[in-house]
Amino acid sequence: MEWRILPKFEECLQRLERIVDELEKGDLPLEKALGLFEEGIALSASCRKELETAEGKVEILLKQNGKLQPEPFEARESGSKK
């Protein structure tokens, strides 16, 4: 038996994609649409938090003096300034 457990991020992202598909159809009652929207916002926040955590752990290995030295990853922002 093959075990396939998706990490939480992928599960959240897949559910978020299904929610977007349902909302884009436009044939939901208002109450259902609002409930899905709220769930989508929560899932989006969860995914963002996990991505920020992962970004903090990313390291680039550089070869220096014959040894691999870890160096912190610095994300580049595209088109936005802090």
The total number of residues shown for the chain amounts to 82
Q: Tell me the pTM.
A: 0.61
List the domain boundaries for the chain. Answer: 8-72
CA 20/CA 24 separation, integer angstroms: 6
Instruction: Please report, in tens digits, the pLDDT of each residue of the chain (82 residues total).
Output: 344 444 688 999 999 999 999 999 999 999 999 999 999 999 999 999 888 887 766 644 444 555 656 666 666 555 444 4
Q: Which helix (H) or strand (E) holds 61?
A: strand 59-64
Three-class SS of residue 42? helix
